[in-house]
A and B are shown apart, each in its own frame.
Chain A
């Protein structure tokens, strides 16, 4: 909305400026010097008035933006940026907790399932011997005792395993919560971007009227220093200079004689 308003005001200024300029040439052609000087003053006035208006607009927009960012004198605290910071720290924390909880549960579950598996293998061997009638009666008594203990333990341990699996399932609830926080931050970033673009375009009008020319701001080409590491590649498949999977890495390395 603000952008539309901007364009129309800039257009008006140009129209007025154009009209006055035409009148100025007319007067000059007709040797009406006094009139022409008046026109120049008018031109100056049109420019000044519009300039004040634009600066007023810019200041208001800046104010509005600052208000929306909730940036107040105690820099940062309570602002949207600060909220985003906190939100993302929460995401890191939640994901770490979920990962650790899952690994705790797996660590606790592995010996149980390994125990069941080992004991089952051993009992099976004895059982095979029994079926082939290779087992002495005293050994058979031991075997029945062993089977009873195994069944009891299996009952208890599989219950524990079920519990761990359920806890692992529940530990995934971070996805919902972190997802919400990330979506909020994404919306905020988009919002901030559009407000900044708006401010830049308003400032552009002021530059135009005052004839200010900026040395083309050296967009410090933030060449990622690859030795520092640039983190995970998003949409790696679409990028030429990026290996999108382990096979790509292996191919590249083998082409280097690895």
Chain B
């Protein structure tokens, strides 16, 4: 399982990577915004994308839209982990095809639950 973690803050990337490692996902890579992440996704064989929303350059929601428009990436499971908590935004993310939405600050248990749920659905 190869995972890309996208967040503009290196500390948050590190926290998410550590939590993923705790859940047994050790093959993770990082990007600091959507415009760095998209080419990585397009050229690498990632199985899962965890992205923040608010980032300079390309935001997470734009990245999600690009992923869904890309023939090869459109089924990639995407988990949004973000401080963006407006109802409109959550609805917009759902409409754009997000697979899970976690708001910061979050706990390890919530992240685990959402990731497991996503893979249950993807596998099932």
- For the complex formed, measure the closest distance between the CB of A235 and the CB atoms of chain B, giving whole angstroms: 11
Contact A249 B90 (CB under 8 A): yes
Min distance, Cβ A149 to any Cβ of chain B, angstroms: 28
Contact of A232 among B62, B89, B104 (CB under 8 A): B104
Interface assignment of A131: CB less than 8 Å from any CB of chain B: no
* A243/B88 contact (C-beta < 8 A), A229-B55, A232-B83 known: no
Q: Would you mind naming 23 contact pairs between A and B with Cβ atoms under 8 Å apart?
A: A99-B14, A103-B11, A103-B18, A107-B18, A226-B84, A227-B59, A228-B54, A228-B59, A229-B55, A229-B59, A229-B84, A229-B89, A230-B54, A231-B84, A245-B103, A249-B85, A249-B102, A249-B103, A252-B87, A252-B90, A252-B91, A253-B101, A258-B94
Q: Write the chain B residue with the least CB distance to A232.
A: B83
In the complex, whether B92 has a CB less than 8 A from a CB of chain A is yes
User: Which of B11, B61, B103 sits near A96, CB closer than 8 Å?
Assistant: B11
* Cα–Cα distance between A245 and B90 once the two chains are bound (Å): 12
Taking Cβ atoms with an 8 Å cutoff, the residues of A that contact B are 96, 99-100, 103, 106-107, 226-233, 236, 241-246, 248-249, 252-253, 256, 258
Q: Using known A-B contacts A241-B87, A246-B103, determine if residue A229 contacts B54 with beta carbons closer than 8 Å.
A: yes
Please report which residues of chain B, range 67-124, place their CB below 8 angstroms from some CB of chain A when the two chains form the complex: 82-92, 94, 101-104, 106, 110
Residues of B with C-beta under 8 A to A99: 11, 14
CB of B86 within 8 A of CB of A242, answer yes
Pairwise interchain contact B90-A243, C-beta atoms closer than 8 A? yes
- Determine whether B15 belongs to the interface, using a CB cutoff of 8 Å to chain A: yes
Q: Tell me which of A103, A226, A248, A256 contacts B88 (CB under 8 A).
A: A226
B54 and A243 contacting across the interface, CB-CB below 8 Å: no
By the criterion CB–CB under 8 Å, are A226 and B103 in contact? no
**A residues within 8 A CB of B88?**
226, 241
Cβ contact of A229, chosen from B82, B103, B110, cutoff 8 A: B82
Q: Is A96's CB under 8 angstroms from B10's CB?
A: yes
